[in-house]
Amino acid sequence: MTQVQAVIFDMDGTLFQTDKILELALDDTFAFLRSEHGWSGETPIHTYRKIMGVTLQVVWETLLPGRSDELRNIANEFFHAKLIANIRSGNGALYPHVYEVLDGLKQAGRRIFIASNGRLDYLSAIVGYYGLERWLTETFSIQQIDSQDKTDLVRHIMNKYGIVQAAVVGDRLSDIRAAKNNGLTAVGCRFDFAQEDELAQADAVIDDLLELNTVFNLR
């Protein structure tokens, strides 16, 4: 489909199967809230699945409506500690063919980046546990951008590395918009958290990461 200088990947629901640790961490977090802070509702796992890809501020405003920022911050810190603990315990997983695809891209001379709405410590835990640093030029978090907008995060990567032609690969609308708003190719992943109405706005849609070889004319 296209030749690109770089490929900018989302992490959750694109390279990393977040669903394998998401429910575990959320259940632990809301059990903690019920025991310590008077939360009486069920764990809103289905709500979180619907909003995957938004910033952490929006996550906790949605999951804890009408609650204080203090409580949301407590929940967020506890949740991230549990996510990282699950990663380091081997409870997560990459999607099939991640290593093969990253290796092919790097051998073809493409620079590879992560641009995620996740926190840096969380992203570092994934990169470190699975040894992804051997392929990545740099990992970027939305924490590094004041606007908390993935479009601006991708633009920051482009400016820092002088990138003109690139693709953004991700599963949610924020990834697709980040590509389109920067004049890049948008590749949607029809994986666990994807929504068909969002994927319809991408330039290409894949069901398996191996399909990137065709999208980027690597073979």
Please write the tens of the pLDDT for every residue from 53-68: 778 889 999 999 988 9
Alpha helices in the chain (DSSP H): 19-36, 45-51, 56-63, 69-88, 98-107, 120-130, 150-161, 173-180, 196-199, 212-215
* Longest CA span, the chain: 56
pTM greater than 0.95 (yes/no):
no
Pick from 77, 19, 91, 75: nearest CA to 48: 19
Pick from 9, 21, 210: nearest CA to 125: 21
DSSP character for 118? S
Q: Are 165 and 182 in contact (CB under 8 A)?
A: no
Residues 75 and 179 in one domain: no
Write down which residue in 29, 56, 88 finishes a domain: 88
The secondary element (H helix, E strand) that includes residue 112 is strand 111-116
pLDDT at 1 over 60: no
Gap between the Cα atoms of 64 and 72, Å rounded? 7
Write down which residue in 88, 117, 135 finishes a domain: 88
Q: Which domain holds residue 46?
A: 19-88
The predicted structure's pLDDT at residue 55: 80
Residues 195 and 136 in one domain: yes
Average pLDDT of the segment spanning 135-140: 98
Residues 141 and 124 in one domain: yes
Residues 143 and 178 in one domain: yes
Average pLDDT of the segment spanning 164-171: 96
pLDDT category of residue 37 using cuts at 50, 70 and 90: confident
The secondary element (H helix, E strand) that includes residue 97 is none
**What is the residue whose two structure tokens read 């890809």?**
53
pLDDT at 210 over 90: yes
pLDDT at 3 over 90: no
Please write the tens of the pLDDT for every residue from 18-36: 999 988 999 999 999 999 8
Summary mean pLDDT of the chain: 93
Q: How many domains does the chain have?
A: 2
Task: Give, in order, the Cα–Cα distances in Å from 36 to each of 40, 62, 177.
Answer: 11, 20, 39
Gap between the Cα atoms of 31 and 49, Å rounded? 18
Residues 120 and 48 in one domain: no
% of residues, the chain, pLDDT over 70: 98
Residues 101 and 163 in one domain: yes
The predicted structure's pLDDT at residue 39: 81
Average pLDDT of the segment spanning 82-102: 97
